[in-house]
Every structure is written in C-alpha cells, then in structure tokens.
C-alpha cells in the first residue's frame, strides 16, 4: 500500500501499468518504476524549459525583448526544480548502493541508471540557469542601447532645430517691428532662410558622421 498528499502523474503511470498487467511484481520493482516515472516527468519539464530558453535566445538575436517578468519566472522554475531534484538524485544513488534485501541486482542497476539520468538533468538545469543570467545581461544591454539611440536622436533633432528656433524667437521679439514685415516677400524669404539653415546644419552633421 502507498499514500500521497497530492496528485502525482508518475504514480498514475505506475497504477495504469498495474491495471494493464505490465507493472511491477514486487516492492523493489515498484520503487524503481515510481522513481523512473518521476525522472521521466522531470526530464520532460526540463526539456520544455530548455525549449523556452532557446526561443528567448533566438528572439534576442532579433532584438525582441521578452515580456516583463517572463525571464525571472523561468529562472525561478529552474531553481525550484534543482532544489527538489538534487536530494532525489542523492536518494536514488544511495538506494542503488545499499544492499537492501528486497531489491535485486537488476533493481539496483536500474536505480543507478535513474540516478545518472537525474544527474544529467541537474547539469542541464545548471546550464539553463547560467544561460538565463547571460540573457538577463543581454536584455539589459539591449534596453540600454535602445535608450541611448533615442537620446542620441533627440539630441540631433535639437541640434538641427536650435538655430531656427533662435531666429524665430529673435524675429518674434517685435520690439521695434519685425524686420522685413513691410515687405511682401519677407515671410517667404525668412522661410527659405530657415530651410537653408536646417539643411546646412543637417549636412554638417552628416559630414561630421554624426548622422
């Protein structure tokens, strides 16, 4: 007899095998099958997280930043998985090395294989955690570069329109009358002057390789 507090898919798999007549026939076989099913489900979940990390890395290459908190949640899932899997690996290795009377040599060999598989899963989790750290740094760098580009663009726009703003402000003082206000081509000439001035500043920025 066995008991459980929460629904565990691994136990459902073992129960299904027993109902079909292909399950374990003794205590040692039952324990090995449960550990094997637990490791299979853990490996599947690790593979899903690994695929998500690959998708994130591909998106980062295209300068696509994931939603806020997505990477932190992924990293948390990896850390939680490692917290539970590391003791399991130690227990499996201990069961494989102990000379328990109700476990045969074949059971111990299978248990050692399961412990080795779980160890490889832990190595994969460690690698994924390291990759999430690298991606966090990359995301911060991409956001910083994006902010720097926006700031640079605004600075260039200010440099282009600063001379024209100065002239329009100067002519708009109107202390003694607007210069050229009585001439019918005065406004047109002033607009042409502003266009030439903006074009000249833009050309100067381009030649200086600021644009």
- Residue 69 CA from chain centroid, whole number: 9
Task: Pick 9-150's CATH classification: 3.40.50.150, 1.20.1340.10, 3.90.1150.10, 1.20.58.340.
Answer: 1.20.58.340
List the structure tokens of 146. 């994006």
202 vs 80 pLDDT, higher one: 80
String of DSSP letters for 125-171: HHHHHHHHHHHHHHHHHHHHHHHHHHHHHHHHHHHHHHHHHHHHHHH
**Residue from 68, 10, 79, 12 nearest 46 by CA:** 79
**Hey, where are the domains in the chain?**
9-150, 154-171+181-207
Spatial separation of the C-alpha atoms in residues 26 and 159, rounded to whole Å: 83
Spatial separation of the C-alpha atoms in residues 40 and 170, rounded to whole Å: 77
Mean pLDDT rounded to a whole number for the chain: 85
Q: Does the pLDDT at position 3 exceed 70? A: no
Q: What is the pLDDT of residues 19-34, one digit of tens each?
A: 787 777 788 888 899 9
Confidence band for 13, pLDDT divided at 50, 70 and 90? confident
* Per-residue pLDDT, 192: 86
Mean pLDDT of 157-175: 75
> What's the pTM?
0.70
191 vs 110 pLDDT, higher one: 110
Q: What number of other Cβ atoms are within 10 A of residue 28's Cβ?
A: 20
């Amino acid at each position: 007899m066995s008991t459980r507090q929460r629904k565990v898919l691994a136990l459902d798999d073992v129960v299904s095998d027993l109902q079909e007549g292909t399950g374990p026939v003794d205590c040692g076989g039952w324990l090995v099958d449960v550990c094997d099913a637990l490791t299979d489900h853990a490996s599947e979940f690790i593979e899903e997280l690994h695929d998500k990390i690959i998708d994130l890395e591909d998106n980062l290459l295209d300068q696509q930043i994931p939603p806020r908190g997505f990477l932190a949640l992924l990293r948390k899932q990896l850390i939680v998985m490692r917290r539970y899997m590391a003791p399991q690996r130690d227990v499996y290795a201990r069961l494989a090395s102990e000379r328990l009377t109700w476990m045969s040599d074949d059971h111990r060999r299978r248990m050692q294989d399961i412990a080795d598989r779980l160890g490889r899963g832990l190595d994969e989790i460690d690698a994924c955690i390291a990759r999430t750290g690298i991606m966090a740094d990359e995301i911060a760098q991409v956001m910083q570069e994006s902010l720097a580009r926006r700031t640079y663009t605004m600075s260039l726009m200010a440099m282009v329109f600063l001379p024209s703003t100065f002239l329009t402000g100067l002519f708009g003082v109107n202390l003694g009358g607007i210069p050229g206000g009585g001439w019918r081509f005065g406004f047109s000439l002033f607009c042409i002057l502003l266009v030439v001035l903006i074009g000249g500043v833009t050309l100067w920025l381009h030649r200086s390789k600021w644009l």
